[in-house]
Structure formats: structure tokens, C-alpha cells
Chain A
Amino acid sequence: MLDLFSNLALGFQVAASPVNLGLCLIGALVGTLVGVLPGIGTIATVAMLLPITFGLPPVGALIMLAGIYYGAQYGGSTTSILVNIPGEAGSVVTALDGFQMAKQGRAGPALAIAAIGSFFAGCAATVLIAVLGAPLTKLALAFGPAEYFSLMVLGLIFAVVLAKGSVLKAIAMIVFGLLLSMVGSDIETGASRMTFGIPELADGLGFATVAMGVFGFAEIIRNLDTGAESDRQLVQQKITGLMPTRKDLRDSAPAIARGTVLGSILGILPGGGAVIASFAAYTLEKKISRDPKRFGRGAIEGVAAPESANNAAAQTSFIPLLTLGIPPNAVMALMVGAMTIHGIVPGPQVMQKQPELVWGMIASMWIGNLMLLIINLPLVGIWVRLLRVPYRLLFPAIVVFCAIGIYSVNNAPMDVVLAGVFGLVGYWLVKHDFEPAPLLLGMVLGPLMEENLRRALLISRGDATVFVTRPLSATLLAIAAGLLILAVLPSLRRKRDEVFVESES
């Protein structure tokens, strides 16, 4: 315990130096901007800014890059809530209730609660890294391919639960998402699948491409539909308070706490953990809510929980990097690159050999989260005012920003064309009451699920019982089965109700 305090003291000493404070602020600002601009992802930004950090001291460089990473989690909710465009996989579910709140004139409280929830989650998760970082590493190592596969199955069940309409349609969307995720090169043989000889499809469809299409462009097409114009004006007229009411805070507090716990645990798992976090938190809230019907119709818990979860996960995903030196996702891999360029090769000894680096970063996360709260709360007013911009001016701007963002991911014009195609697909889906969120979850989890299924079966030499004989994996599958039953039961009951209603009329 004494160690912890002396380490933290060292960390704050490093992080509070004027240069590092400045870099932390720059990182947080850039991150917020990246999150807000639709389509421009953290990976692309960190990759672009990497060369700029070469001239900086390594600690400062990492503090800035880390700031961009978790800053983007704060900013990512903004477009989800205001214009129904999730910039990152983590903010897809935020769009479900956040955008509904905005339509009801409650964009302000939605944005504010997202910032408050993120701040609480960020602070709590940072404490977790400082206190339990090293022992928690064991959890990351205990997760083999079989466990990951079962976790992904659980993730897909979340997608069923979070749908507000027909369960059958939700399952159809998940399967469609899984199908889309299979486009590209086979991981084991390198053979092309469903690429139709188009080289741009060899690496599969990008998340940003599909998300911008089915959420962003489809929403715009729908808005330009004659009927929706009045709907839009309604939004502009009835903007109420900017800050959450006391009741909002009371409703959100437990959701934030639960989201933080779930996000912190799932964030530690390298690859995929952080993505599932926000979906899991949303599902949990919907399941334990006394009135689950409110979800998808502007429930503030539906914003608070996933936003807390994705920020907590963003923080704890640093654990494998800091304790093992193994990057759990693409952004972290870039940070390893930044360290390598500075001559620091991160590994299991990085905590002993570079304590000022590790603890400086941990302390900077606290400071960074505070800065983000201070940046984001006043911005709420500005964002909400943005909704007053006439839609005929707003939508071309959104289209242009999306197009730039999509292009910048791979510098590929084909991606922009694909996003347009998915816009049309998304419009058709909306018109026929299919929800795009399960599709995106299927698409994000698909590759992870497939890879780990094949890996697990390779290692077990084709013995499928491996998923139920490994205790961790079996537990995850049991939870998934339980959730599925819970999800299907009410819809069966509702069918009976519908029959009843029809016979009455």
C-alpha cells in the first residue's frame, strides 16, 4: 500500500509538470474533436499524429496519445446523440436512446450525463489500474480462444436483447452483420471470401464505412423524406434544459456505477472486450429496469450506462499494455510503436524499469478525465445550438465530414462509395423496421468470433466440447443461454397479447 502511494506520488510529479499537463490537454482536446467529427477514428488520428510525437519526450508523447484515445470516447457520444451517427463501435448503443432523447428536446441532459458518466467511470477505472493492474493481468492471460468465442456468443445475445422490436428481425440483422463480417481474407488460408475480385474488399468492410452508411447516411435520407421534415423542426423548437434534472441524476447514478464495473472488467480482455462493454452495460440496464419498454425511446440510463462502460473499458484496456507490454488493440499497438521509436520496448518489466513512464501515464489519466469533464460540459450548450442550424445546411456538412472521415481510414475512395451503398441499404432497413445496431454488433464481433472458434477447435483438434469443459467458457455460455431465454420469453408472451388484441378489435 505504501508502495502504491509513493508510486502515485511519483506519477503525479511526472504528470503535473507544465509540459505534460499541456500535452495531456492537447490530447484531450484532439480526442474530443476526433470523437465529435463523424467517421474520423482514433486509429487514423493516432497514426497521423504519431510522427509529431517523435520530437517529444516519451512520457509526454504517451500521455498525449492516451489522451486522444480516451478523449475520443467522450466525444464519440456527441454525434451519436445529436445526429444518430456513432463514430466508434463503443458509441453505437448510445445512439439508441441518446438520439431519441435529442428528438424529445433533451439533447442537453443526454450529452451532460454522457460526460458525467464517462468522468466517473474514467476516475474509478484509473484507481483500478493503479491498485489491481498487475493481478488483473492474469485474467487477460486466462482468456484463451475458447473463452473468447464464448464471450462473443454472449455479446451476440446482448444484441438480441437490446433490440426494441421483433426478436426475429434482430436475429436476422445479427446474421446479416455476421455475413458482412466474413467479407475479406480468410484468416487461416488467406483466401478471398465474397470479394468478387475487387481488391478493395480483400481486407473486408470497415466498421466506419458500414456505420456511417446504415446510421448516418440512412438517417439523412430518411430526414430528407418529406414526412420527416416536420419531425426535424419539432426537435429545434422544443429544446428544454441543458443540464440533467435531479431526477435524471438519480436515475442515472446506479446505471453509471454498474456500467463502470462491467466496463472495467471487460476492458481488460485484449481484443473485443472493450467493444462488448457498452453493449453489455446497455443490456444489463434494460434487463433489470422495472420498465424495459422505455429503452430505445429515450431512457437516460440507456445513455449513462454504455457511456460509463466504454470509458471505463478504454482505461482498463491499458492494463495489458502497462503490465505485459502486449497491445490489446490497434490504438495500443500504435502506442507501442511510439515507445519503440523512443527506444523503449514495452514488456513485462516496463513497470519496474520505467516507473515514471507507467505511473506518469496513470496519473495523467486522472488529470485528463478531469480536463475532459471541464471541456465537455460547457460544450453541451454549443452542440445543442448546432441542432438549430437549418437542416438544409447541416446535412451537407455531415455528409462531407463523413466522406472525409471514411476516406481517411484507408485513403481508399472505394470506401466512400461503399458507405453510400450502405446508406441505401440502411434506408431500406429503417423503412422496414429493422434496427441497424444488432447488424453493427454482428459485424464487429463476427471476425473475433470466427477467428477464436477456429483457433479453439484447432488447438482442441476439432473437439467441440472444449467450450463447455473449460470452466470460464462454460460460465459465459450459461449466461448467454439464460439471457436468450429471458429475451425470447416476453416476445412469446407478447405474441399471445397481440392475438388477443386483434380478436378484440
Chain B
Amino acid sequence: MNLFVRLLRLGRFTLAAGAALLTPALAADYPTRTITMIVPFAAGGPTDVIARIVAQHMSTTLGQAIVIENVVGAGGTTATTRAARATPDGYTLITGHMGTHAAAVPLYPKLAYHPTKDFEPVSLLAGTPILILARSDFPAKDLREFVTYVKASGDKLNQAHAGVGSVSHVSCQLLKSVLDIKPTGVPFNGTGPAMNALVGKQVDFMCDQIVNAVPQINGGTIKAYAIATPDRNASQPDLPTTTEGGLPAFKAQAWNAIFAPKGTPAPIVATLNAAAVKALDDPGVRKRLLDLGSVIPEPAERTPEALGKLVEAEIAKWTPVLRDAAAN
């Protein structure tokens, strides 16, 4: 079985190598062969799941298979560097996210790519709301009490996160700068171990994506204080927003989007965008994304231009927060 998969892959490489020797495929015929979609995180993670759900539908629209290639490492920047250097022919794409295409800019001074200069935006896929979470016996009753308590505690509290550059780290940096608090940041190797520590009451609070948190909230093993989006989320309807809870300045949402290397012909970007938009309108795809607690972008947010603006706005948003905080 394994050998079989390996042979298949080998076949794919020879195929790709062969095609590269021929004249570049005309944009009008695109796509004529398998498309590789790089996911800069491990299979099964939130970005991977979203990419797979959308890519599956896109491949039926495009009439060519989309192969997901998970390339992990350095907070997703290894994969993103690879994608930035790929041939801009529409056959190598990347599902980037808030980290790789915004937060990485201030976090990694020697970043080998630039999110706007080295990529053509294709389409925003989904947003993942961020929640404020705490251990199950945390004294605060609601968000207001949480804010008062956290402010009064000075540096006594421990805040877990999934490693520098992770969504849980980056989003909590914003919370810390909004509240002007300095809890001790305790890094864990990924969301799972961080959640384990919160459930085990070894740390006090953290910020995390809704997908990871909902089952624990429902199981009563952790507390949730607010969701940092403008609207409440259907998968956790009783959870108030930060605005309702009196903390409108804390708004954060992780997002995932498709990018192509800079120089990919405009007609190809348009074809890919149309396929992604069609996937986001499909009831089956929508249901699966909503089940994950994702926020599906409105039609106006799905254009390449809108994504380009989002990336610029996000870089502007995170740069001061992450520079000031000096990774702590």
C-alpha cells in the first residue's frame, strides 16, 4: 500500500518534470494537469481541513485533481518560501493564513518572502474566530470580571500558547496590548499540549481558535469568556462577543486564503478565484465549514483585490503588536 502511494508520487514527479520541459501551458487551456496545493501545516490541522474541503470542490470545477502537499516547519514559513519560489504557472498554489501572510513579517526579520510582493492573492477561504478561554475554576464570572481580575493580577497569571507565531500566541499578544497586561507567556508545542495544560489547570488562560475549544467548553473542562468576532457564532450561540462583553477593542480572527506565486497570469488567477468562489457557494462545502465554527467570507470579500487589501491591513495590524511585545 505504502509502496503503491510512493510509486504514485514518483509518477507525479516524472509527470511534472516532463511537463516542465514542454512549452508553458497556455493560460486559455488552464488547467491541463494536476495542481499542487501546498498547505504549510500538518495534515489534519485547521488550515489543512479547510484547504482540503475547498480544494476537493475546486478540483471538480477545474476538471483536474488538486493534490494537497503538507510542508511543515518554522511556523509555516518554510512552505511559504517554497511556494513563493515556485514557477508562477498556476500549478503550484498555497493555502496561507494569518501567520504566514501577515504575522510572519514582524516575527521573522529574515523572512525569505514578502506576503504582498511575492504572491498573487487568489481568494479568501474562511475565517476562524478566536475565543478567550480560562481554566475551569478561574474566578471570573464573565468577561468584565475577567478583565478586572487579569488587570489586578499583574504578572501573577500564566497564559498558555501554542508556540511563537501560532494563532494562539499572536492573538493573545493583541489581547495583552489592548488590556495592557503582562502575564507570563508559557509556550507549548502546539495547540493540543496547550489545551491539555489548560484542562489540567496548570495555566490560567489562553486565546485559541474556536475549532479546538468548542468540545472542551461543552464538556465543562474549560471556561470561555468571549468570542472576538463582531457576531456570535452558531456553534457556540450562548457565548457573547467581545463587544457585548465590554471589550470592543479586542477583535481577532484567524483566516485562511489561497495565494499563487507572483507573476501567475491574471486569467489563471481569475479561473482559480471563480472555482474557489463556486466552492464557497456550495451548500455541502458551506455546511462543513460552518460545522467547524468557521466564518465564510461574503462575496465582496472573496475577490483577489479584497484579499490583497486584507493582507496589507493585517500586516499593519499585527506589526506594532508583535514588535512591542518582544515575543513574550
Contacts and interface: CB of A to CB of B under 8 A. Distances in A.
A144 interface: yes
B2 A141 contact: no
A341 B52 contact: yes
B200 interface: yes
A190 interface: yes
Given A33-B3, A189-B164, A347 B214 contact: yes
Interface string B199-219: 111110000000100111011
Contact of A336 (B44, B200, B218, B220): B44
Nearest to A330: B42
Interface stretch (B123-131, B182-190, B242-250, B251-259): B182-190
Contacts of A190: 75, 107-108, 163-165, 327
B72 A142 contact: no
B6 A187 contact: no
Given A30-B2, A49-B5, A349-B215, A188 B164 contact: yes
A113 B73 CA distance: 39
Interface stretch (B24-32, B63-71, B172-180, B268-276): B63-71
A-side interface mostly = helix
A50 B44 contact: yes
B313 interface: no
Interface residues of B, number: 60
A411 B71 contact: yes
Interface in A46-92: 46-51, 54
Nearest to A454: B187
Contacts of A335: 44
A29 B68 CA distance: 25
Contact of B184 (A34, A341, A408, A458): A458
Most buried by A among B72, B189, B192, B203: B192
Contacts of B49: 337, 340-341
A404 interface: yes
Nearest to A335: B44
Given A320-B196, A347-B218, A459-B158, A203 B78 contact: yes
Contacts of A203: 72-74, 78
B184 A348 contact: no
A11 to B, nearest CB: 21
Nearest to B165: A190
A190 B162 CA distance: 12
A61 B220 CA distance: 28
B288 A26 contact: no
Interface string A233-262: 000000000000000000000000000000
Contacts of B44: 47, 50, 333-338, 340-341
Contact of B43 (A30, A50, A404): A50
A340 B211 contact: yes
A334 B5 contact: no
A199 interface: yes
A245 B45 CA distance: 48
A340 B288 CA distance: 10
Nearest to A321: B192
B216 A347 contact: yes
Contacts of B6: 404, 408
Contacts of A270: 192-193, 196
A451 B189 contact: yes
Nearest to B202: A144
A185 interface: yes
A193 B158 CA distance: 26
A306 interface: no
Contacts of A349: 215, 218-219
B186 A459 contact: yes
Contact of B199 (A33, A54, A141, A330): A141
Looking at A140, A341, A461, the one whose CB has the most chain B CB atoms below 10 A away is: A341
Chain B interface main SS type: mixed
Interface residues of A, number: 62
A326 interface: yes
B200 to A, nearest CB: 4
B221 interface: yes
B42 A334 contact: yes
A185 B163 CA distance: 11
B240 to A, nearest CB: 21
Interface in B106-141: 107-108, 112
Contacts of B221: 324, 348
A54 B52 contact: yes
B41 to A, nearest CB: 10
A29 B158 CA distance: 45
Contacts of A199: 74, 78, 81, 112
A296 interface: no
A45 B43 CA distance: 11
Given A202-B78, A203-B78, A343-B288, A37 B197 contact: no
B84 interface: no
Contacts of A26: 1
Contacts of B3: 33
Contacts of A334: 42-44
Contacts of B195: 326
Query: Nearest 6 CB-CB pairs, A to B?
Result: A337-B44, A347-B215, A348-B219, A190-B164, A141-B200, A47-B43
Interface of B: 1-3, 5-6, 42-45, 48-49, 52-53, 56, 68-75, 78, 81, 107-108, 112, 158, 163-165, 184-190, 192-193, 195-197, 199-203, 211, 214-216, 218-221, 288, 291-292, 327
19 contacts: A26-B1, A33-B1, A47-B42, A50-B44, A143-B200, A190-B75, A199-B78, A202-B73, A203-B72, A270-B196, A271-B193, A333-B44, A333-B190, A334-B43, A336-B44, A340-B49, A343-B291, A346-B215, A348-B216
Given A37-B2, A48-B5, A187-B163, 17 more contacts: A45-B2, A49-B1, A140-B200, A187-B189, A190-B165, A190-B327, A199-B112, A203-B73, A203-B78, A325-B216, A326-B195, A327-B192, A334-B42, A340-B44, A349-B219, A410-B71, A461-B184
